[in-house]
Structure formats: C-alpha cells, structure tokens
Structure 1
Amino acid sequence: MNVQDRRRLLGPAAAKPMAFSNAIIDEQQKKPVNMPSKDSENGDELSLHTGFIENCNGSALVEARNLRHQTSLITAVYGPRSIRGSFTSQGTISIQLKNGLLEKYNTNELKEVSGFLMGIFNSVVNLSRYPKSGIDIFVYLTYDKNLQSEAPAGESQSKKTFSEISYLIPHCITSITLALADAGIEIVDMAGAGEANGTVVSFIKNGEEIVGVWKDEGNNEDLLESVDDCKEQYRRYRDLMISCLLEQKSLDTSSS
C-alpha cells in the first residue's frame, strides 16, 4: 500500500539540495594589510584592520612597529548624527585622543594633538554634505612602548614625551582616515602623514597639498629638510590604506 508522509511538505522527486560556497575566512586573513619591515629606524611594519567594532559607524585598528617604537591604536567613528540647536550649513567634527591603561600622556598633550588632528580633518571631510550633523571620533592608545633605552641623563621628560607623540601622529591620521572610509563618510582624499626628526607633515592629493604641520618643542631643523622624508612615508601609508579598503570591499562582496 502506498502511504504518503503528511507530516512534512515534500519537494519534487528530482529536487537537489542547495550548495553554498565556503565563506569561512581565516581570522589571520580577515582584514589586515601588512607592510614588510625595513632595516632602518623609520621602516615601520604596519598592520591595518577595519570594521571590527559593531556598535559604531566605522572603526579601524593600526598596529605599528619599528626599531625604536611599537604602538597600537583603535579609532571609532560615530555619526554623522543630528545635533540639536540652531541650524548649521555643514557638519562638525570632534576628535578625542585617549590614553590606554598605561596613562602615558597627560591631558594637555592629548588635547593639543586632538586639536591638530581636528584641523586636518576639518579640511579633509566634505562637511557640506552633512548639515546640522556631528561626527565624533575617538582614538584610543591601546599600547605604546619605546623600544629604545631610557632617555640619557639630563634630557627632560617633556622633550622625550613630545618626540614619542610625534611618532604617534601619522598613525592616528591613518587610523582616522580608515575609520571614516569604513563609516562611509565622504572625504576629499585619503589623508596621511609622515614623521621625520620630530616633524610631522600631513598630505593629500599624492603629496601635492599639505594640510597640517607639527613640530616638536625645541625642534630647530629646517622644515623643508623633513618634507621629502615625510612625503615618502605618506605615500607608503596611503598605498597601504587603499589596499586595506580594497581587501575589505572584496571580502564584503564575496560574503554577501
């Protein structure tokens, strides 16, 4: 006797199960882009990651190491979010640089760097596209270590600290640029920077336009002598950012 199974809906007799491609990606290959280390003080080994924080609009992680310094920082972007009060024709940006667990830098130093970064990204982000909106950016210094020996006797702690901050600034700019791109916020170009002898120069448009200059206290070197070195670093960092974003896009496309 032919008995039909009425407990479930049966498909056609010739039906085949659906097959999906393997979308599992090794965590080590998920979103990093690495720069090979170089046999020089300024040859940074860089690792870039984006889009790993879920409760913000965009995020980025930059890990950098060379012969004299090792650092890791995380950037989170929130916005654009509507702001209360009078109407503004363009958006506003706030940037806060925060210590990690080590509390290495004092509040005034972090505020000074935050103000410098705000000056750069006020000219890089297309704020006219975001009227009556605010973009909040938080940069967390999760790890920061000087790999060289302690400062020689007689060298002031202030001078040493500012030298370390100048090393951090290009990586802050790289991290903020990646986080803004991850958030889908419109920027006029990929901002980047390089550091040479305590001088930081930030560029856009393939190094043809300077959007910010930072010099350590007591730094009497000629700015023009540092521009070329900073521009070379900027171009390397920019190429890495582009590679990171292209890799991110290809991963998103393959997983969708």
Structure 2
Amino acid sequence: MNVQDRRRLLGPAAAKPMAFSNTTIHTLENKSTSALPKNSECEQELSLHTGFIENCNGSALVESRDAKHQTSLITAVYGPRSIRGSFTSQGTISIQLKNGLLEKYNTNELKEVSSFLMGIFNSVVNLSRYPKSGIDIFVYLTYDKELQNKCLDDESQSKQIFSQISSLIPHCITSITLALVDAGIELVDMAAAGEVCGTVVSFIKNGEEIVGFWKDNGDNEDLSGCLDRCKEQYIRHRDLMISCLMKQKNLNI
C-alpha cells in the first residue's frame, strides 16, 4: 500500500542541499568616539556611543567630564509606533528624563526639562513623515556629580550642586539627537546646544536658527556674548556627533 506523507511539502527526489562558502562575520559591539575640545573656560572630555541597547530602536550614551562637572546619560528611543484611536496627520513625541540611582533632582525639575526638550525636538524631527505614530524617548541620568571646588564653602557648594541642571541640557540634546539618528528617524537637522552660566541655547542649521532657549538665573549678563559662546559649544558638539556617526558608518562598511 502506497501511503503519501501529506503533512509537509516534499522536494524533488533528486534535490541536493545548498552549499555556501565560509564567510567571516565581524560583530560591532560598540561604536563610539571621544574628543577633548578646548576653550578659554575649561577642557571638556566628551565621549559618545551609539547602538548598544538591543531592545529599542535607537540608543546613545553621552559621558562628559570637565574641571567642575562629571555626568553620564543614556537615551533610548522606541518608535515610530502606531497610535490607536483617531487619525493624526503627523507623529507625536514624548520625552521623559529620569534620575539614576541618586535622586539628585526633584520631579518638577525633570518635568520642566523634559517639556523644554520636547519643544526642541518637535521642531527638529520631521513629524509629517510619521502620521498616526508615536516616538517615545527616555533619558536616564546614570551618573551626575559636581566635582569639589575648594574655593567655595559648604553652603555655596550645596547651592551650586542643585542649580546645575542646566549644564545637563546640552548633553541631553546631544544624546537624544544621536539616538534618533541611530533609530533611523528623519531629522530636519542635527540639534546641539551650549550652556553658559545657566543659559542654554540650542541651534540647528550651522547656528543660523535657534530652536530652544533656557535661562536658569536672573543675572543681567550680556546676551549676545552668551549666544556666541553657546554657538561655539554647539559647533563642537555637532562636529563630534558627525564624527561619531561617520566612524560608525565606516565600521559598518
């Protein structure tokens, strides 16, 4: 009795298995770049890493250290993801800034900075390309420490520690920009920022357009001078991001 196996599709009786030549696969565990830009104020060491978190669409790590401050930020981007409900002609962005192990900043401060960052990236991301979609961005403050300054007393040190959230904003912008590029999300331009005495200015288009302005104190300082110094920092951060992305592209090739 001839019984035919109908549970699966069988190939021809004379079929031969396919043979492939041996290939070498290069695994890129980490893609990073670092630089030591110098200015008249201080030397800042900035290290950038991308693509090291597997369960998100894009990720970035920014580590910064200078004579006064040391910080580390991790950003994860999820999306674009479809939104249930009514149709929207363009995508939406949500940004959440979270403390690390040390609860250094209170919730209101973090929400205020998150709202400021959302205003920037609503202008930078080409949201018209992502209708009925949401992009969720999480920024984790993994390490943040003010280095001791012997010229200040204990009370001044305490006030300085809790008033330096503005110094984190440029690194948040750099980290989010890199993570969005790593996720393949279309941007109008690469955003970056600079910070001078509590004033943060974010630029695009080679410093010709301002997309964010943050002032953390009431000092009557020279605004034009702050803009020039913030633009110098913007150019350094932007060039470093481009160097990081070009290095990543060359490694992938």
Letter in 2 for 1:161: F
User: Could you say which residue in structure 1 is the equivalent of 2:121?
Assistant: 121
Superposed counterparts of 1:78-93, under 5 Å: 78-93=78-93
Partner of 1:32: 32
Aligned length: 237
Offset at residue 108 of structure 1 (A): 0.3
Distance 1:221 1:80 in 2: 41
Distance 1:24 1:86, change over 3 A: closer
Superposed, 1:33-48 pairs within 5 Å as: 33-36=33-36, 38=38, 41-48=41-48
Give the CA deviation at 1:60: 0.1
Which digits, 9 at most, give the CA deviation of each residue in 1:81-108, with x for residues without a partner? 0111111110000000000000110000
Q: List alignment gaps of at least 5 residues for structure 1.
A: 1-8, 10-16
Give the SS at the match of 1:32: strand
- CA–CA separation in structure 2 for the residues paired with 1:88 and 1:219: 42
1:189 is aligned with what amino acid?
Answer: D
Q: Give the conservation status (yes or no) of the 8 Å contact 2:34–2:47.
A: yes
Shift of 1:35: 1.0
Return the alpha-carbon distance in structure 2 between the equivalents of residues 156 and 145 of structure 1. 12
Quote how far apart the aligned CAs of 1:248 are: 1.2
1:187 corresponds in structure 2 to 187
TM-score by length of 1: 0.85
Gaps of 5+ in 2: 1-15
Residues 1:23 and 2:23 aligned together: no
Distance 1:62 1:170 in 2: 10
- TM-score where L is the length of structure 2: 0.86
Contact 2:146 2:161 in 1 (8 A): no
One-letter amino acid of the structure 2 residue matched with residue 93 of structure 1 = I
How many Å separate the matches in 1 of 2:101 and 2:85? 36
Match of 1:226 in 2: 226
CA shift, 1:192, in A, is: 0.2
Q: Deviations over 1:24-62 (max 9, x none)?
A: 66x6xx411111254754431110000000000000000
Instruction: Quickly say closer, same or farther: Cα 1:116–1:196, change in 2 above 3 A.
Output: same
**Aligned-partner Cα distance in 1 for 2:113–2:175:** 14
CA RMSD of aligned residues (A): 2.4
Equivalent AA in structure 2 for residue 23 of structure 1: H
Instruction: Return closer, same or farther for 1:190/1:21 CA change in 2, 3 Å cut-off.
Output: same
Identify the residue that residue 214 of structure 1 maps to in structure 2.
Answer: 214
